Amino acid sequence: MVLAERENLLAAGHRACPGCGAAIALRQILRALGRDTIVVSATGCVETFTSPYGMSAWEVPWIHSLFENSASVASGVQAALEFLQEKSSVVVISGDGGTFDIGMGAMSGMFERKQNITYICYDNEAYMNTGVQGSSATPYGSSTTTTPAGRASFGKIQHKKDMPAIALAHDVDYVATASIAYPQDLMKKVAKTKEIYGPKYIQVHTPCTIGWGFDSSKTIEIGKLAVETGLVPIYEVEKGKPMVVKKVKNKKPVMEYLKFQNRYRHLLKGEQKDIADQIQAICDKNIERFGI
C-alpha cells in the first residue's frame, strides 16, 4: 500500500470551525482513498461546512441527500457502478448522529446486503451541527445541550452505544476504530478497505473544539489523551483474523482527558467526583477487555 504523497482532496476555503477534528479526519481519509472514490455523506457538520452551493470543497464526486439515508444512497451508487462495470470505491462519511441514531437502520441494511461499501463514521460524540445535542454516541457523564449537567444531573446517564460491536454482529468483512490523532494508523486502515470486497466499517474518534469545549489548538492533544487513557480503544477486526489492538505503554488517568473539556467540567467538582471514577472504571474495563 502506497499513499499518494500529500495528496489533498479537500480544498481549502471550507467552513469548518478553526481546529475542527472532522476536517482533519476528512483530509486523512481522502488521502488514503485517493481520487477514484465516490463519497456519500449524511446531513451534518461535514456536509454543511464542505458544500455551500458553488463553493464545494470536495475534489472527489460527492453526494448528500438526507440525514438518515447515506448507507442506502451508497447502496444505489454501488449497484449503479456494478451495472456500469466501473470500479470506483464507494465510501460513506457520516457523523455519529447519522450513524448511531437516525441512519442505523439503513446502515444495517447495507451491511446485511454485503455490498462493497466502506462506511466511515466521524464520531464527535454529539449533534454538533445543530448545537451539541446528545446522541447515542455521547459518552457517559458528558454534558450536552440535551443531556445537560445540572443540580440533579451529571450529564448523560447512558453509556456510549458500542457501534463497532453492532457492525461486527453483521459479520461484515472489516471493522476498525481509529483516531485522527494517529493519522498513519487511520490512513492505513482506510487504505486497507480498498483491498477488501464487502461491507466495511471504520469509526474515527474526532474531537470537536466547540462541542467538547477546548482550545482550537488542542484537537490532536485531546484525541491522543482519549486513546492514552483507554477510554477510546483503537483496534481492527479483519474477518477471519484475530483482533489487533493498539497498545498503550504509559496509560494516563482519565482525569487527564476530562479536565481539558468543558463537557466534563461538572465532574471536577467534589459532589460528582464519583462519576469521574466511573468513567475511569470504563477505561479500566476497556484496558482489560481489549488488552490495551
Partner 1 sequence: MSTISVIEGSMAVAQAVKVCRPGVIAAYPISPQTHIVEFLSQFVADNEMDTKYVRVDAEFSAASAVYGSSATGVRSYTASSSQGLLLMSEVLYAMAGTRLPVVLTGVNRTVSAPITIQPDHQDTMALRDTGLIQLHVESSQEAYATHVQAFKLAEDHDILLPVMVCMDGWILTHSFEPVKLEDQEKVDEFLPPFVPKYRLDTKNPLTYGAYADDEVPEFRLMMHFAQDRAKEKIKKIAREYEAKFGDYFGGLIDTYRCDDAEIIMVAMGSVIGTLKDAVDKLRKENIKVGVLKVRSYRPFPGEEILSAVKGAKMVAVLDKSLSVGQGGPLATDVKAAFASKQAPPVLGCIAGMGGRDMSMTLIREIIEKSQKAIATGETPDTEYIALKRQYLE
Partner 2 sequence: MIGAVCKAAGSLQYKTGTWRDNRPEVNDNCNGCGICETFCPDSCITIENKKCIIDYDYCKGCGICANECVRKAIVMREERK
**Chain positions contacting partner 1, by CB under 8 A:** 35-38, 40, 47-48, 51-54, 56, 58-66, 68-69, 71-84, 88, 105-106, 108-109, 112-113
Give the rounded distance of the alpha carbon of 292 from its chain centre.
Answer: 20
Supply the DSSP symbol for 129.
T
Contacted by 130, from partner 2, partner 1, none: CB < 5 to 8 Å by type: none
Smallest distance, partner 2 to C-beta of residue 38, A: 12
Supply the DSSP symbol for 29.
H
d(CA 233, CA 176): 10
How many CA within 13 A on the CB side of residue 213? 16
Comparing CB distances to partner 2, the nearer of 52 and 291 is 52
Rg (CA), the chain: 18
Smallest distance, partner 1 to C-beta of residue 69, A: 4
Q: Is 74 in the site for partner 2 (CB under 8 A)?
A: no
- Work out whether strand 62-64 and strand 174-179 pair parallel, antiparallel, or are unpaired: unpaired
Backbone angles phi, psi at 123, to 5 degrees: -100, 100
Comparing CB distances to partner 1, the nearer of 63 and 243 is 63
Smallest distance, partner 1 to C-beta of residue 39, A: 9
Write out the three cell numbers for 256.
487527564
Which residue in this structure is represented by grid cell 449524511? 42
> Taking the CB of residue 36, how many other CB atoms lie within 10 A of it?
12
Comparing CB distances to partner 1, the nearer of 82 and 277 is 82
By rule CB under 8 A, what string of x and - marks binding of each residue 186-215 to partner 2?
-----------------------x-----x
Q: Using CB under 8 A, which of the segments 55-63, 102-110, 166-174, 251-259 binds partner 2?
A: 55-63
Smallest distance, partner 2 to C-beta of residue 187, A: 9
Q: Is 7 in the site for partner 2 (CB under 8 A)?
A: no
Q: Is 50 in the site for partner 2 (CB under 8 A)?
A: yes
> Taking the CB of residue 79, how many other CB atoms lie within 10 A of it?
13
Comparing CB distances to partner 1, the nearer of 108 and 272 is 108
Smallest distance, partner 2 to C-beta of residue 33, A: 15
Burial class (CB within 10 angstroms; exposed 0-12, middle 13-18, buried 19+) of 48: middle
Contacts of residue 82, Cβ cutoff 8 Å, sequence gap at least 6: none
Write out the three cell numbers for 3.
499513499
Q: Using CB under 8 A, which of the segments 49-57, 122-130, 237-245, 253-261 binds partner 2?
A: 49-57
Comparing CB distances to partner 1, the nearer of 170 and 224 is 170
Of 65, 82, 74, the closest CA to residue 38 belongs to 74
Write out the three cell numbers for 16.
469548518
Among 1, 2, 12, 84, binds partner 2 (CB under 8 A): 12
Q: Is 183 in the site for partner 2 (CB under 8 A)?
A: yes
Among 153, 158, 216, 262, binds partner 2 (CB under 8 A): 216
How many CA within 13 A on the CB side of residue 100? 25
Which residues in this chain contact partner 2 in the complex, by CB under 8 A?
6, 8, 10-16, 18-21, 23-24, 27-28, 50, 52-60, 180, 183, 209, 215-221
